[in-house]
Amino acid sequence: MRELALLLGARARTILNTVRGVREHSRLKIVVLTVFAIGFWAGLFLFFRLGLRFIHHQVNDPAFAEMIDQNLLSLYLFSLFLMLSVSTGLIVQASLFKSPETQFLLVSPVTESGLFTIKFAESLSFSSWVVLFLGTPVFLAYGLTVGAPWWFYAVLPLVVVPFLVIPAALGTLFVLFVGSFLVRYRRLVAVLLAGGFAIALAWIGIKIARLGGQESTPFTSAWIVDVFQMLSFTQHPLLPTRWMLVVVMQLARGKLEYVPFNAGLVLVNAVFLYSASERLAAWRLRRAYSDVTGIGSRKRSRTEDGFYRRAIDLVFFFLPERTRLYLEKDVKSFVRDPVQRWQFLILVGLLFLYILNLRTLAYDQRDAFWRNLIAFLNLGATSLTMTTFASRFVYPLLSLEGKRFWILGVLPIERRSILTGKFVYALSTTLAISEALIALSCYMLQVPLGLAVFHAFTVAFICVGVSGLAVGLGALYPNFRVDDPSKIVSGFGGTLNLVLSLAFILVVVVVEGVACHRALRDPAGGKGIRAGYEFALVLPGLVGMGLGLLTCWIPLRMGARHFEKLEF
């Protein structure tokens, strides 16, 4: 208990110093982050508040309205549950097996149980604040909509805290189990996980195809029941999200019949899962740390290295050899970092799942206006995902070279070739993913071929602009003193890159979306598409291309000039 108090005291002092250090950050970053956080929370609250009010006003049957609320809340809780499980598992894996602090504490008079407790609490605090940030506006909007009593807002947080422990403990148990017993078979585990993910996608695709083949009018009572039946797995009685759903709905409606039992289930399972993970860590943490770090230090096989080299030489044959070497290094660094890899896969995977379900919502059966609107919203979501990738993984690339960057000062190489390699890496990755997402979105929405080509053209130059911004500003505002990518991104340059990228995407999507809507609108007032609309899209397409090229060229040129003058 004494060692735990010492570790918690050290963490408290670290947090206090971090809070005090906020004053050292730029005012631009503080203002931008505060405004974006408040605006996002308020927007999410208004979205759910207006949506729930619309449902309750339009649905005459109170039982049917309650069924809709139940399914929406269940799906939302299930999504947060999965997000927290994966994010906590990734953070625990990095903090236990990749952090130098763990190595220091393992040789100090600290027990494995105490070390695990402080790491678990730290990981849970890092991952759960996002869930709380996304969950509080939903619970508040639901409570206001159904007229919940005041004690709904007082009792619910007491149940939410143990609920957050359950997915965090499950993710931690998985990481500890793999590190303790399956680390030597990690490739088999990865194959099984990928196979399970592929099977889940195939199952969803079959369900969508069956639902799309039914002749039912979209957004009718029967259609809504069919959609919710597909999502009935989120309300299985053995899932913690089901227990939490019962607590939320019962408390909001002033009923306490099933609240104690379900709240007790949440609390008991939270204690059990945490105790199980703590006991496993006390038993196998040192051995797991030795196995994970030992395997991680092995040399990569020549076959694997040769595969990367041949693939890059084949695809990017037009680049100089030295530029291809930098590109190969960046690709290997990204693939071999599980935290970066899984974060990106989760972002893209969720977007793929959303687009695959477009026909479930029958958006392909709507008129031209709605299909165009949904298509441009998908274009904006895809662009924002690519911005996240560029800001989180591309912008810090130059700064992460750190103290090794002095080597560049004594090598007979052109520094512009380094920036070229970073830019090609960013552009090729974002372009491949975004074009696949846009092609799938246009196919699911059944948009005309001319409009699909226009969307593909638009997202290509958005990727050009976002990649140029990330690489150019990364060279203009490098930070070689920090090894943590999150701290590099949170600096002035990272904040400026995020703000400019968001502004660029907003301008392109809004301008081209409005122009596209005017081009598609039928002059006769019908719901069809005007003939010859392709010619009206040429000018907005050229405008988007010009904005993308300027957004790429200006920061790249400024960054290259500054990078060539740097002293190492």
pLDDT of 183 higher than 80: no
Among 497, 297, 296, residue whose Cα is nearest residue 399 = 497
Could you write out the DSSP letters of every residue in 113-182? HHHHHHHHHHHHHHHHHHHHHHHHHHHHHHHHHHT--HHHHHHHHHHHHHHHHHHHHHHHHHHHHIIIII
Weakest-pLDDT range from 55-59, 205-209, 285-289: 205-209
pLDDT in tens, 320-363: 777 777 777 777 777 777 666 766 776 677 667 666 666 555 55
What value does the mean pLDDT take over residues 108-128?
82
pLDDT of 131 higher than 80: no
Amino acid 299: pLDDT: 52
Report CA 344 to chain centroid distance, whole Å.
7
Weakest-pLDDT range from 249-263, 273-287, 308-322: 308-322
What value does the mean pLDDT take over residues 171-183?
80
The number of residues making up the chain comes to 568
Going 523 to 529 to 535 to 540, the CA torsion angle's sign is positive
253 or 351: whose pLDDT is higher?
A: 253
Token pair belonging to 30: 């503080």
Amino acid 166: pLDDT: 93
- Give the Cα separation of 114 and 431 in Å (integer): 46
- Give the Cα separation of 453 and 91 in Å (integer): 40
- Give the Cα separation of 313 and 511 in Å (integer): 38
- Give the Cα separation of 292 and 112 in Å (integer): 16
pLDDT of 29 higher than 50: yes
Token pair belonging to 111: 């027990």
Mean pLDDT of the chain: 77
- Give the Cα separation of 312 and 319 in Å (integer): 10
- Give the Cα separation of 378 and 364 in Å (integer): 13
pLDDT of 470 higher than 50: yes
**C-alpha distances out from residue 463 to 82, 311, 425, 544, 566, Å:** 29, 22, 12, 11, 28
Amino acid 297: pLDDT: 47
pLDDT of 386 higher than 80: yes
Amino acid in the structure at residue 423? F
- Give the Cα separation of 378 and 376 in Å (integer): 5
pLDDT of 302 higher than 60: no
Contact 253, 146 (CB under 8 A): yes
Among 343, 265, 267, residue whose Cα is nearest residue 93 = 343
Token pair belonging to 96: 């236990």
- Give the Cα separation of 450 and 447 in Å (integer): 8
Weakest-pLDDT range from 12-16, 31-35, 523-527, 535-539: 523-527
